[in-house]
Structure 1
């Protein structure tokens, strides 16, 4: 299976969020029509949550049969279930509380007040992934995985100069030494993230430009974890102008930004 990386530049954060939301709505409708369901992995971070809010605000949101969407997360902070800093709670406020998702198909990571130790929580999430997988597999087939990117190049809770980006197994890990608070977290591993059919990385701001430039130039994932991200079909960096400052011109898609009115073939092959 071939894959590629491309960068789609938007004039500002608002255009970025609206464009990704429109693309998501159209793609998920197609996925459900073709395959009957869609497994989607969400991310946290300010831009990621803005995208979810833009999906909720779109008049096209009801075009999706939300009962056929499974929702997962790429990582989570080890905090109580109702903590405002949990990616799960932010995603619920931005999107999931506003659409008719099937509660049984929303799969948040365990919380620190669920009665589990961190390592056991990682194992429990791996078990949940396995339970939703096709027979004989260890995880579902993720149709779309959203990722944010930190100024240091981290994705999910896989940080530079830590063990996380070096883990070679397809699974879920406990993170004990995050340089960002809180220090304890749960995260999918890079090999599991890379089983996704499509990985959409969403980032804005000039402070992200160096990490993006290094990733596209082939930096080591141990030093710049985002450099190790590669979806099975497609890897797209949705960025604003400021974040694109160090992107090679050859990787920037010709269309300024995508809207629902455009045929997807104008800027990337379908799929």
Structure 2
């Protein structure tokens, strides 16, 4: 089985979002033809939201049979359901509220105002993941996992030098010491993320160049968490020219 890391460089942020959106639509159609269902893990952040907006704006959007698509999240801020900082709300506004996806196919984390606590919310999401498994594991068959990358190299809510990046057993983590506010969050663990068939990391801007360069140069996952993330078949870094500034040329493929 192939297990490749590829860096695909785009001229600017707008071209990046449009290209990833187009690739998502064609890849999703192909996977649905192959296996009849797909599990997609969504990310938060401005670039990820722009990709979802571009999917929504595409004339090819409804070539996807949305009845067969399941949406999960890689992490979530522990805020109220309607807080604008919530990843779920951003994804619904950008795409999910505009497509014919059944409500039962959308699997958000619990919110802070829904009558539960952080630990119970983590346990509940882990149970929901296990219930969606088709092979007796603790997870569904994740097909495409979107991830952003922070300037410090964090992915989902797995931060440098924090215990979350070293977790090897749990599928879902209750995070209480995030160095990026809010301090409390929910996150899939590194093994859960790495169970995905394909990981698509989408990042833009000069502040991401150092983390990407270090990750591809072999930095430790404790120092640069993104270095420890790798899909079962493919790990694609979709970046703009500024984010690729410190990536060796032999690792990149230009889209322009």
TM-score per shorter chain, which class?
over 0.9
SS of 1:173's partner is strand
Quote how far apart the aligned CAs of 1:2 are.
Answer: 2.7
Instruction: Number of aligned residue pairs: give it.
Output: 256
Q: 1:18 matched to which residue of 2?
A: 18
Distance across 1 between alignment mates of 2:10 and 2:184: 34
Q: Which residue of structure 1 lines up, in the alignment, with residue 191 of structure 2?
A: 191
In structure 2, the residue corresponding to 1:242 is in which secondary structure? coil
Give the superposition deviation at 1:119. 0.8
Moved over 2 A (4+): none
Structure 2's unaligned 5+ residue stretches are: none
Aligned to 1:61: 61
Q: CA RMSD in A?
A: 0.8
How far 1:190 moved relative to its partner?
Answer: 0.6
Q: TM-score, normalised by structure 2?
A: 0.98
> Aligned residue for 2:224?
224
The one-character-per-residue Cα deviations of 1:191-217 (angstroms, maximum 9, x if unpaired) are 110000000000000000000000001
Q: Gapped runs of 5+ residues in structure 1?
A: 258-271
Tell me the equivalent position of 1:74: 74
Counterpart residue number, 1:248: 248
Shift of 1:10: 0.2
Residue 164 of structure 1, CA deviation: 1.0
1:133 maps to 2:133: yes
Distance in 1 (CA, whole Å) between partners of 2:147 and 2:169 is 19
Q: Distance in 1 between matches of 2:52 and 2:39?
A: 15
Show CA shifts across 1:228-257 (max 9, x none): 01000000000000000000111102x425
Q: Match of 2:180?
A: 180
Instruction: Work out the CA distance in 2 between the residues paired with 1:199 and 1:212.
Output: 15
Q: How far apart in 1 are the matches of 2:248 and 2:3?
A: 18
Deviation at residue 135 of structure 1 after TM alignment: 4.4
- Superposed CA deviations along residues 99-140 of structure 1, whole A, max 9, x for unmatched, are 000100100001111111111110000000011111412111
CA distance in 1 between partners of 2:36 and 2:170 (Å): 25
Deviation at 1:170, TM superposition (A): 4.7
Query: C-alpha separation between the residues in 2 aligned to 1:232 and 1:158?
Result: 19
* Contact 1:170/1:190, CA 8 A, preserved across alignment: no
CA distance in 2, matches of 1:169, 1:241: 37
